[in-house]
Amino acid sequence: MSFEFTFTMGIRGYHVYQASWTPSHEDKLTFVQEKDLNKYDPCAVAVKGTFKENIAPIVIGHVPVEISRYVYHSLSRNCRYTIKVCDRKPYRSPLTQGGLEVRCSVTAFWENEEWLGILKQHVEEKYSVTIQDDSNSILKELIASDSGDTVEPESCSGSELESCSDVEDN
């Protein structure tokens, strides 16, 4: 018997891979451990896609560092994942250094209910998808710079997103 847990996640690094990937709801995506290939995260998990124009799967982003070690170790213990693109529009990453993310729905399937519960606990404690639309503050700053005025940037309150079903596709 397999138990499951579904959560929403941003595929990080779209700004790096956008030349080789245009998100689609039909994409076949998988998680792959990078095993010492990533100098920023020793437990990095790449998100790979299989597309008709490529012979082999290609890296299209990464699991967020906040939860990568949990996903990394769960893969080593036979946890299976399905990843589905929720929104083809990329969003600004919440990381200080910026970047773009593509929102997806991830379902973990694991025969060990206890281990799945631990994964769920860590994902819920350490990670949430927050999408901020900074368009208004960016436009105000641009208009102010054209007119020579100074404008304090607005703070945008992001909305917590719990599932893919409540988002329209752009």
Q: Which residues pair with 31 in a beta bridge?
A: 47
pLDDT of residue 163: 36
93 occurs within a structural domain: yes
User: What share of the chain in percent tops pLDDT 70?
Assistant: 77
18 occurs within a structural domain: yes
* CB environment 46-58: b (16+ within 10 A), e (fewer): bbbbeeeeeeebe
Please list, in sequence order, all residues whose beta carbon lies within 8 angstroms of the beta carbon of residue 93, skipping any fewer than 6 positions away: 10, 12, 99, 100, 101
Say which CATH number the domain at 106 has.
3.30.70
pLDDT of residue 120: 95
Q: How far apart are CA 79 and CA 51, in angstroms?
A: 24
**Is the confidence at residue 23, as pLDDT, over 50?**
yes
35 occurs within a structural domain: yes
Angle at the Cα of 100 from the Cα atoms of 6 and 160, rounded to 5 degrees: 45
Query: What is the model's pTM?
Result: 0.74
CB atoms within 10 A of CB 158: 15
116 occurs within a structural domain: yes
- Which of 162, 105, 99 has the alpha carbon at shortest distance from 128? 162
Span 74-106, pLDDT tens digits: 999 999 999 999 988 998 888 777 789 999 999
Question: pLDDT grade, residue 55 (50/70/90)?
Answer: confident
Q: State the DSSP code for 68.
A: H
Domain that holds residue 35: 3-130
Please list, in sequence order, all residues whose beta carbon lies within 8 angstroms of the beta carbon of residue 167, skipping any fewer than 6 positions away: 86, 87, 103, 161
pLDDT average, residue stretch 102-117: 96
Cβ atoms of 116 and 37 within 8 Å: the answer is: no
Please list, in sequence order, all residues whose beta carbon lies within 8 angstroms of the beta carbon of residue 1, skipping any fewer than 6 positions away: 111
16 occurs within a structural domain: yes
161 occurs within a structural domain: no
144 occurs within a structural domain: no
114 occurs within a structural domain: yes
In the chain, how many domains are there?
1
Span 137-152, pLDDT tens digits: 556 666 776 666 544 4
Length of the chain in residues, anyone?
Answer: 170
